[in-house]
Amino acid sequence: MDYCQFLETLLGEGRASVPALGPIPVRQKAAAVETLARYERLWRRECPSPIPDYHPDAANWAAEQFCLACQFAIFRDVDEQTMRAALTTSLESDDGPDVHYSVDLVFRFLPDLVKFVHAASSDDPLESILRGWALRWPLSSVGLPGIEVAEIDHGVFYQSSGLMSLYVDRIVTCADRSRLIDDVVREHVLAAVGMYPDLAPHLALNEYLTENGEMA
């Protein structure tokens, strides 16, 4: 199992087969660029239009970070200082819709990784790091419980109707009522559900509607 095989399994099957802990060879990094681009083209077909442009550097950064986090989740002899040094590297890019969309290509599996880490230990420093990612990349953390949603900056979703639609779809699918704290996001969720809030019963949207079925 190597890095490219890790991505193929993750993006193709939704599961992680983790390579041995160690630096990713340059040749594998180069091959991963095309692997990510290929799966992005497939993923884009499933997304609402107009979806933001693909940002390869952001996707590659997210893929390498996620792979490393999976390795730390499996190989437990790494100390907290080493993990934090490796997993808190910043992405040198503007914080626009294209970046959030591209990071999400891999980070959409973040809730599953957090749950896996939490199941192993309820007081794991790796989980703390991953939850920091969850706040930083809100599109990718929908459905993850225990998130301080009030700390999330939803401004990036205001900039792209496609990204907002993707976010709303995920909120409705995951019944993540916590994300309704943002007024603009809540209005888009209500508009998506329309006159039939019972289609999303776990979101309890009726409290936001008037007797005429309009948004309160």
Least confident of 46-55, 125-134, 171-180, 190-199: 190-199
Residue 112 exposed, middle or buried by CB count within 10 Å (0-12, 13-18, 19+): middle
Least confident of 56-60, 70-74, 131-135, 190-194: 190-194
pLDDT beyond 90 at 194? no
The answer to whether the peptide bond before residue 50 is cis (omega within 30 degrees of 0) is yes
Least confident of 34-38, 118-122, 192-196, 205-209: 205-209
Phi, psi of 215 (to 5 degrees): -65, 135
Say what the pLDDT of residue 196 is. Answer: 63
Say what the pLDDT of residue 212 is. Answer: 42
- Higher pLDDT, residue 17 or 103: 103
- The residues spanned by each domain of the chain are 3-153
* Digit-coded pLDDT (tens) for 106-135: 999 999 999 999 997 777 899 999 999 999
Mean pLDDT of 55-69: 96
d(CA 2, CA 205): 46
Mean pLDDT of 69-95: 86
Tokens of 46: 């499933």
pLDDT beyond 60 at 102? yes
Average pLDDT, the chain: 90
Measured CA distances, 125 to 38, 128, 134 (Å): 34, 5, 14
Secondary structure of residue 143 in the 3-state scheme: coil
pLDDT beyond 80 at 184? yes
% of the chain with per-residue pLDDT over 90: 73
Residue 14 exposed, middle or buried by CB count within 10 Å (0-12, 13-18, 19+): exposed
Say what the pLDDT of residue 199 is. Answer: 65
- Higher pLDDT, residue 73 or 211: 73
d(CA 36, CA 93): 18
Phi, psi of 95 (to 5 degrees): -95, 65
% of the chain with per-residue pLDDT over 70: 93
Per residue, the 3-state secondary structure of 60-128, as one string, reads HHHHHHHHHHHHHHHCCCCCHHHHHHHHCCCCCCCCCHHHHHHHHHHHCCHHHHHHHHHHHCCCCHHHH
